[in-house]
């Protein structure tokens, strides 16, 4: 069942989204070659809790950290620890915030120092794919319009979209209906309605779309070892346009 949110509920999620966006900004300022991923996790927890909010991922389905930090061929759910970020890597940071009974969810992929032209293109295309997907979050459009816009841009640039992981509705639960694939067709799927709140999150690979999960039972990587990027916003569907709730 898809739960439509009231203006009050969307306002709460937006407030949480500002906390999340500020956390991502602080982390982005700290990502440099030589920093341990655990330091990013500690920074996120300290700031989120300073805002009387909770890091939503810690303990969620048993996840052991406050944020997800995924590097190069890691797509999502990388666990922060003693790993040191190196020059030329790209680092996806995924964060959830819980406050006043509602969740916000967002991700951003950063470059550590100078990266290759292929990685630069991947970041640009994935970020643009998120923007294209968000543009489709208008009442009266179909869910497939979001999916198609993401897939088409990725494939036009000779990249692939991850097919086994999806975006999702969000609200009083981290994951709600509907699921939002990053591939699909125009005019297909449910009709979007005002009050839907969606976590739209393209995950795009330089190689094939196949994935596998590492022995830690969390970290998802590309099966062929290719590099992946991940961007995400929490978005409210509006009558005349989308409302991004996880921006400053």
Asked if residue 201 has pLDDT above 90, the reply is yes
Mean pLDDT of 115-137: 98
Asked if residue 91 has pLDDT above 90, the reply is yes
Mean pLDDT of 216-239: 97
In whole angstroms, how far apart are CA 110 and each of 29, 124, 144, 158, 171?
Answer: 10, 11, 28, 21, 27
Whole-angstrom Cα distance, residue 201 to residue 140? Answer: 21
Q: CB-based contacts of 200: which residues, under 8 Å, 6+ apart?
A: 130, 133, 134, 137, 146, 167, 180, 232, 233, 235
Asked if residue 103 has pLDDT above 90, the reply is yes
> Using an 8 Å Cβ cutoff, are 112 and 28 in contact?
no
Tell whether omega for the bond before 111 is within 30 degrees of 0, i.e. cis. no
Mean pLDDT of 90-108: 98
Q: What is the pLDDT of residue 213?
A: 98
Note if the pTM is more than 0.95: yes
Q: CA 38, 58, 14 angle in degrees (round to 5)?
A: 105
Mean pLDDT of 229-241: 96
Asked if residue 61 has pLDDT above 90, the reply is yes
List domains and CATH numbers for the chain. Answer: 7-244 (3.90.230.10)
Asked if residue 188 has pLDDT above 90, the reply is yes
Q: What is the pLDDT of residue 248?
A: 79
- pLDDT > 90 fraction of the chain, expressed in percent and rounded: 99
- For the stretch 19-53, pLDDT in tens is 999 999 999 999 999 999 999 999 999 999 999 99
Mean pLDDT, the chain, rounded, equals 98
Q: What is the pLDDT of residue 43?
A: 98
Mean pLDDT of 86-111: 98
Q: What is the pLDDT of residue 139?
A: 97
């Amino acid at each position: 069942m898809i739960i439509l949110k009231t203006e009050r509920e969307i306002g709460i999620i937006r407030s949480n989204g500002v906390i999340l966006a500020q956390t991502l900004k602080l982390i982005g300022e700290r990502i440099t070659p030589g920093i341990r991923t655990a330091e990013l996790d500690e920074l996120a927890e300290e700031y989120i809790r300073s805002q009387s909010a909770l890091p939503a991922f810690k303990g969620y389905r048993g996840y052991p950290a406050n944020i997800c930090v995924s590097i190069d061929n890691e797509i999502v759910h990388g666990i922060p620890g003693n790993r040191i970020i190196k020059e030329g890597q790209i680092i996806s940071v995924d964060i959830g915030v819980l406050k006043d009974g509602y969740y916000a969810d967002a991700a951003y992929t950063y470059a550590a120092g100078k990266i290759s032209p292929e990685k630069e293109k991947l970041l640009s295309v994935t970020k643009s794919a998120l923007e294209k997907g968000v543009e489709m979050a208008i009442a009266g459009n179909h869910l497939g319009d979001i999916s198609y816009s993401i897939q088409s841009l990725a494939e036009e640039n000779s990249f692939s979209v991850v097919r086994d992981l999806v975006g999702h509705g969000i609200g009083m639960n981290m994951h709600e209906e509907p699921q939002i694939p990053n591939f699909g067709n125009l005019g297909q799927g449910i009709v979007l309605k005002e009050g839907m709140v969606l976590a739209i999150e393209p995950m795009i690979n330089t190689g094939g779309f196949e994935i596998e999960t590492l022995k830690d039972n969390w970290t998802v990587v590309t099966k062929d070892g290719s590099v992946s990027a991940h961007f995400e916003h929490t978005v409210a569907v509006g009558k005349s346009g989308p409302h991004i709730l996880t921006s400053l």
